Chains A and B, each alone.
Chain A
Amino acid sequence: QVQLQQWGAGLLKPSETLSLTCAVYGGPFSGHYWSWIRQPPGKGLEWIGGILHRGNTNYDPSLKSRVTISVDTSKKQFSLRLSSVTAADTAVYYCARGVVRSYEMLSGRYYFDSWGQGTLVTVSS
């Protein structure tokens, strides 16, 4: 049973860089897209992006210029950096495991079968 545990700073000022990390316990690290999803207070889910174990990434086009997702396979961890944050980036951020069909590993098409506990990130001056 895979478990995802995430951590990072919960309060940022405008223009700072958001940084979160997620550790994966149990289950294989390879063959999955390790992903970040956020949820503004009282609103729906927004996909941010994901990274395959070997480093291939795909990002939401609206965030792509500010987002970097990286992976450390030796530690079974992956991280999110979101630069130049504003109040609009205030949200609960989730890490999640993306499931992709083995025969289309590089497709970037996946759903999410395991989630972290979520981290509330507030951007305020």
Chain B
Amino acid sequence: EIVLTQSPGTLSLSPGERATLSCRASQGVTSSYLAWYQQKRGQAPRLLIYGTSTRATGIPDRFSGSGSGTDFTLTISRLEPEDFAVYYCQQYGSSLALTFGGGTKVEIK
């Protein structure tokens, strides 16, 4: 199965700052089938990005995704108060096992 490693584990930033989250795969992700989710405490995850860089419906353009092969990035251009949460990447290039990364927590500095 493809193992996804997210870094850093925790990102401490202030509102208005730029957040850069990394997701590294143990092998190449087919067709750039990578998604990103946001999860707030006590809530279900929310889809942000799919296909590496396509924003889901209603997601503001301060969220952007990029990457290919084994290295992917989620960037939040200017953090809003509601963006402090945990973020997960997920690969769906292998139908044998869809896998998630361990998550990056974005916390207020």
Q: Bits for A90-121, please: 1 = Cβ < 8 Å to B, else 0.
A: 00001000010000000111111101111000
Q: Which of A66-80 contact B (CB under 8 A)?
A: none
Contact (Cβ within 8 A) B45 A115: yes
B12-20, B77-85, B92-100: which lies at the A interface?
B92-100
Task: Determine how close the nearest CB of chain A comes to the CB of B58; give it in whole angstroms.
Answer: 11
Contacts of B103 in A (CB 8 A): 44-45
Query: How far does the alpha carbon of A112 sit from the alpha carbon of B56 in the complex, in Å?
Result: 11
Task: Determine how close the nearest CB of chain B comes to the CB of A109; give it in whole angstroms.
Answer: 5
Q: Count contacts on B: residues with CB < 8 A to the other chain.
A: 25
Contacts of A122 in B (CB 8 A): none
Q: Is A61 an interface residue (CB 8 A)?
A: yes
Contacts of B72 in A (CB 8 A): none
> Which range holds the interface residue count of chain A?
20 to 34
Contact of B45 among A46, A109, A112 (CB under 8 A): A112
Contact (Cβ within 8 A) A110 B98: yes
Q: Which of A54-71 contact B (CB under 8 A)?
A: 58, 60-61
Q: Is A25 an interface residue (CB 8 A)?
A: no
In the complex, what residue of chain B is closest to A118 when comparing beta carbons?
B44
**B47, B56, B99, B102 pick with most chain A CB within 10 angstroms:** B47
Q: Bits for B43-72, please: 1 = Cβ < 8 Å to A, else 0.
A: 011110010000010000000000000000
In the complex, what residue of chain A is closest to B35 when comparing beta carbons?
A111
In the complex, what residue of chain B is closest to A1 when comparing beta carbons?
B57
Contacts of A99 in B (CB 8 A): 50
In the complex, what residue of chain A is closest to B56 when comparing beta carbons?
A113
Contact (Cβ within 8 A) A111 B88: no
Chain A residues in the interface with B (C-beta under 8 A): 44-47, 58, 60-61, 94, 99, 107-113, 115-118
Chain B residues in the interface with A (C-beta under 8 A): 1, 30, 33, 35, 37, 44-47, 50, 56, 88, 90, 92-103
Q: Besides A45-B103, A60-B98, 15 other CB < 8 A contacts?
A: A45-B88, A45-B90, A47-B100, A60-B97, A61-B1, A61-B96, A94-B44, A109-B92, A110-B98, A111-B90, A111-B92, A112-B35, A112-B47, A116-B44, A118-B44
